[in-house]
Amino acid sequence: MKHVILSSALAVLATAVAAQDAPTPILFTNVNVWDGESDKLLENANVVVTGNLITEVSSTPLAVANAKIIDGGGRSLMPGLIESHVHVNLQHMLGGYDTIELRDWQEIGAMGAVTAQSLLKDGWTTIRDPGANAVGIKKVVDRGEMAGPRMYQAGGVISQTSGHGDFRLAGQRLLEERYTFKGYRLGFAYIVDGRDATLSAARQNLANGATFLKMMMGGGIFSTKDPLHTKQSSDEEIQAVVEAATQWDTYVTAHIFLPEHARRAIGFGLKEILHIPYLDVETAEFMVEKGVFYNPQLSQSSPDVLEATFGAEESVTKAKARVTQEAMQQTTKVIQQVPELLETMTFGADIVTNTKANALRTRDHEMWFWAENFGILPTLKAMTSNGGKLAALTGKNNPYPDGPLGVIKPGAYADILLIDGNPLEDITLLGASAKMFDAPERTAGDIPAMDLIMKDGVIYKNTLD
């Protein structure tokens, strides 16, 4: 009997604690909802957030006990934005990859933190980092100790010797120096050859906190040892990385320059491809057929990029960028010819080695370029629901497993923006800019129509209070 009384007393206590700890629900009223997928808004709607999840979306008035009410005043309520190609530690690595070697790790990490913070200020509530290990910054953000977006991390890129991940300086000629250069010691890149070493690198990377894997399978701009045409990584090396990812229930993505290398990668089971500046119709249709995700950087075709990023002097990297710039014009046209590809395309500016001001300008212009060439709706979907679907490919390795991202519906994570105006009609409300480096300088967080930013149920900006 005594035992029963004690149990019921504990039950009462537990109920009291639960009531005390239950988060105050937030009720958004008088909002027009864009759900991340539809071609129109749900007008005059109400949205309930309980804890870190969206629990109700309704076009009829709702009464929610003890709720904090935010009157949206007719603003649009939409999903927080997803940037699927951010190199947190490289965005501000002025002077190119060589300067990794010259910088203190604290400076690199602190600038990475600045990048993460600035993205959330502009409404990017989730980012995906396909390489250069910012796993530590992610941990600090996820613990709630620093404001920043959710982060899907590839950790260190996996590259063959002389591949796009081989950032050793020109003078570091010994093979052993792959283990002493800072890019390796900071976990930015694994330079490995052969099946066994590649498999070990993939597994070590996952153990270190990578949620998906990125492999180098073609030439790249900022690396100096690999001409753009090069086919990188052997068949057995690719199979090793795919094997490790499959064992962890996640996916592999690849840096690709030529379309034949994209088809090769897809043949090995890759679920996503990056870049492909020489994309052709045949490859685009093959990607549609296979349902492969695609993340290109289209505003690289702007001639302004060359001067702003590389300066006036000629260099190996500038010459590579010039070729890429011309090729990207072809890619834009091919996407217009195969618009079905847009269904699996995600938005990612892939900004590296930029000033803070030019990084913002590049992303703003990339957004505008998409909308101008493919329409506003596909651009918005690429930045929300498509990004959420790509994030979900991390399977059981997903660091945010409790609901979908990039959509407004019951059960989704409460990552929410309130926009003064209709983004389906005007993409500039989200910061998109027709100008690139000649756009006026702005600072992160000063997008005027973005009145409220919520991530994980927590409000980070609110001009309505």
Handedness of CA 163, 169, 174, 177 (dihedral sign): negative
Tokens of 398: 């997903």
By beta-carbon proximity to Zn ion, the closer residue of 112 and 423 is 112
327: enclosing H helix or E strand: helix 316-337
Residue nearest Zn ion, Cβ-based: 350
Query: Of 85 and 150, which CB lies nearer to Zn ion in the complex structure?
Result: 85
User: What's the min distance (Å) between Cβ of 85 and Zn ion?
Assistant: 6
Provide, rounded to whole angstroms, the least separation between the CB of residue 334 and Zn ion.
20
Applying CB under 5 A, the span of 111-119, 310-318, 344-352, 416-424 interacting with Zn ion comes to: 344-352
CB of 21 to Zn ion, least distance (A): 42
Work out the end-to-end distance of the chain between its first and last CA atoms, rounded to an integer number of angstroms: 54
Q: How far is the CB of 131 from Zn ion (least distance, A)?
A: 7
CA 294 to chain centre: 12
Contacts of 459 (CB under 8 A, 6+ apart): 452, 453
**Contact between residue 34 and residue 78 where contact means Cβ atoms under 8 Å apart:** yes
In 3D space, the residue among 250, 347, 336 whose CA is nearest the CA of residue 296 turns out to be: 347
- Count residues contacting Zn ion (CB under 5 A)? 1
Q: How many angstroms separate the CA atoms of 221 and 323, rounded?
A: 9
State the minimum distance, in angstroms, from the CB of residue 83 to Zn ion: 12
Nearer to Zn ion, 50 or 325 (CB): 325
Of 251, 203, 240, 185, which is closest to residue 396 (Cα–Cα)?
A: 251
Q: How far is the CB of 255 from Zn ion (least distance, A)?
A: 7
Question: Segment near Zn ion (CB under 5 A), from 49-57, 71-79, 134-142, 342-350?
Answer: 342-350
> Residue 101 CB: number of other CB atoms within 10 A?
14
Binding to Zn ion (CB under 5 A) within 207-266 occurs at none
Q: Is residue 350 a contact point for Zn ion (CB under 5 A)?
A: yes
CB of 215 to Zn ion, least distance (A): 12
User: Segment near Zn ion (CB under 5 A), from 136-144, 281-289, 314-322, 343-351?
Assistant: 343-351
Residue-level length of the chain = 465
Q: Which is nearer to Zn ion, 214 or 455 (CB)?
A: 214
Alpha-carbon gap, residue 151 to 407, rounded angstroms:
17
Please give the distance of CA 149 from its chain centroid, rounded to a whole number: 10
CA distances for 155 relative to 88, 130, 294, angstroms: 11, 7, 20
User: Could you say whether residue 280 binds Zn ion (CB under 5 A)?
Assistant: no
Contact call for residue 456 and Zn ion (CB under 5 A):
no
Please provide residue 362's backbone torsions phi and psi, each rounded to the nearest 5 degrees.
-65, -45
- Which CB sits closer to Zn ion, 350 or 415? 350
* Closer residue to Zn ion (CB): 221 or 407: 221
If the CB atoms of residues 48 and 262 are measured against Zn ion, the closer one turns out to be: 262
CB of 87 to Zn ion, least distance (A): 6
Site for Zn ion, rule CB under 5 A: 350
